[in-house]
């Protein structure tokens, strides 16, 4: 078949070159947005009198019929037509005749693909954000269910201070909220209208870019025609926000994996989201969490792929930019699948509240509370820190826990210690006594959960 751009060429494109340069094998998924953009473009061309109004009507009707054919699985995408744009335009021209050939007036594939990708990303970011919020709600429901459960908080993977399990869980809600905000902010850059900038220099036709942008729901127009066709910052920003999101999911996955081990015994994952061993009958493996952790590297790779593609490109459009779609498409799919599987898995996780409570006070985790007790009695913090360290060392040497020390033993470290010190030695009291905003007390956690629910609902 003759290429739509073939007027200047004497030779046919080789089969090897066709196969090497085609993008229809992956950019076919932009068909909905290509048709949406083309319908808006046709309306503008007709309104401006650039093409006859009756041709505009024919184009719109033809595109709507093609959309129905694709949805019904009756449309064949052809490799020899290179990409989604050429496939749809060729089908349109075959369907309605010469009127179809007028659609590409005052546009290029350069600004057309920039439009399609922006429309696609805008829709996918909205869907990702919706799944994100749903997962946040799931985490909050689990946090509320286990509001009275303590656990050891960690620094350097060493038991540090007792915290509420709910406080730990909503730390991830906070992370995900930043992800929601990042995606929301990214949409501001995605939602800039590039169509009408053509190949790179604009057009001599009296087009109305503002009208077309309004039809398609864009917030503003890209104001430099060279930048508009060569910009992929918005896609890189999406990949960057996605990389941060999957980093958060990977951290959560790592904790779930650790918590399922016999060494921790903090949780049991639901059978439906685990697998067994082909040789060891007793095994229950956290494969879903491990795969989320593994897919993080995949998303990072997509970000670096597009950064590398763009890093040396002169203005304006270059064919290298065809390679932008696979990293974007793969990231969209990966992020959505990771979020969805975690959202569905979490309600079935059983937390071993007794084990977590029992370990919350181990490893002298209320030592900081003793130091703060001494400070409240008038001792400078550095001296209080030293005295508490000596109490810990005494306990280690004598195989005792804090609450097993007699008042006489405690007074050997400071005579300002009194009977009331025992009120700050238990993990329960440690958590209960926290006063600072954002801390791990039940009151603060409840308040933050209320605010998060409101915040998630607002964005």
CA distance 22 to 409: 80
Q: HSE of 92 in the Cβ direction (CA atoms, 13 Å)?
A: 31
To 10 degrees, the CA torsion angle through 293, 296, 297, 303? 180
Here the tokens at position 107 are 């546009």
Tokens standing for 50?
């650039």
Q: What is the DSSP letter of 349?
A: P
Measured CA to CA in angstroms, residue 404 lies from 273, 386, 394, 420 at distances of: 43, 20, 12, 15
d(C-alpha 374, C-alpha 391), whole Å: 12
Residues serving a catalytic function are 156, 277
SS3 content of the chain, % helix, strand, coil (to 5): 65, 5, 30
Distance CA 295, CA 378 (A): 53
> Could you tell me which residues are beta bridge partners of residue 221?
193
Element (H, E) at 350: strand 350-351
Dist. CA 448–CA 450, nearest whole Å: 5
Contacts of 2 (CB under 8 A, 6+ apart): none
Per-residue tokens: 156 = 């350097």
Tell me which residue of 427, 426, 416 sits closest to 384, measured CA to CA: 416
Angstrom distance (rounded) from CA 332 to CA 183: 12
Strands (E), 156-284: 158-164, 192-193, 220-221, 267-268
Q: Which residues pair with 150 in a beta bridge?
A: 164
Angle between helices 287-310 and 325-345 (to 10 degrees): 160
Residue 63, class by beta-carbon neighbours within 10 Å (0-12 exposed, 13-18 middle, 19+ buried)? buried
Tokens of 318: 């270059």
Q: How far is CA 201 from the centre of its chain?
A: 35
Count CB neighbours of 12 within 10 A. Answer: 12
154: enclosing H helix or E strand: strand 150-155
């Amino acid at each position: 078949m003759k290429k739509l751009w073939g007027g200047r060429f004497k030779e046919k494109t080789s089969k090897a070159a066709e196969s090497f340069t085609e993008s229809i094998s992956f950019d076919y998924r932009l068909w909905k947005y290509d048709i949406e953009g083309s319908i808006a473009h046709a309306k503008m061309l007709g309104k401006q009198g650039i093409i006859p109004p009756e041709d505009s009507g024919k184009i719109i009707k033809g595109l709507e019929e093609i959309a129905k054919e694709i949805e019904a699985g009756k449309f064949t995408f052809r490799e020899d037509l290179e990409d989604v744009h050429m496939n749809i335009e060729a089908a349109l021209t075959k369907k309605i005749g010469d009127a179809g050939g007028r659609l590409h007036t005052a546009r290029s594939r350069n600004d057309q693909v920039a439009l399609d990708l922006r429309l696609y990303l805008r829709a996918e970011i909205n869907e990702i954000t919706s799944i994100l919020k749903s997962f946040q709600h799931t985490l909050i429901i689990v946090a509320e269910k286990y509001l009275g459960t303590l656990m050891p908080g960690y620094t350097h993977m060493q038991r540090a201070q007792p915290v509420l399990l709910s406080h730990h869980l909503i730390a991830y809600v906070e992370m995900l909220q930043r992800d929601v905000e990042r995606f929301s902010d990214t949409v501001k850059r995605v939602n800039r209208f590039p169509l009408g900038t053509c190949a790179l220099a604009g057009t001599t036709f009296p087009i109305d870019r503002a009208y077309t942008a309004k039809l398609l729901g864009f917030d503003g127009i890209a104001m430099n025609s060279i930048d508009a066709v060569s910009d992929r910052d918005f896609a890189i920003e999406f990949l960057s926000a996605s990389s941060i999101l999957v980093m958060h999911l990977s951290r959560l996955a790592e904790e779930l994996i650790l918590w399922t081990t016999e060494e921790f015994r903090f949780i049991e994952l639901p059978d439906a989201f685990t697998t067994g061993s082909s040789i060891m009958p007793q095994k229950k493996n956290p494969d879903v969490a491990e795969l989320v952790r593994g897919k993080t590297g995949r998303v990072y790779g997509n970000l670096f792929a597009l950064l590398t593609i763009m890093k040396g490109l002169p203005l304006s459009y270059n064919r290298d930019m065809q390679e932008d779609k696979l990293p974007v498409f793969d990231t969209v799919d990966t992020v959505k699948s990771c979020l969805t599987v975690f959202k569905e898995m979490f309600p079935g996780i059983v937390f071993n509240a007794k084990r977590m409570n029992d370990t919350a006070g181990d490893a002298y985790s209320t030592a900081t509370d003793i130091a703060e007790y001494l400070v409240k009695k008038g001792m400078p913090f550095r001296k209080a820190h030293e005295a508490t360290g000596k109490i810990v060392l005494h306990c280690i040497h004598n195989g005792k826990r804090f609450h097993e020390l007699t008042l006489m033993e405690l007074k050997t470290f400071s005579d300002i210690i009194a009977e009331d010190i025992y009120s700050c030695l238990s993990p329960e009291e440690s958590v209960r006594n926290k006063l600072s905003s954002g801390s791990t007390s039940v009151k603060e956690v409840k308040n933050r959960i209320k605010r998060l629910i409101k915040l998630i609902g607002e964005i």
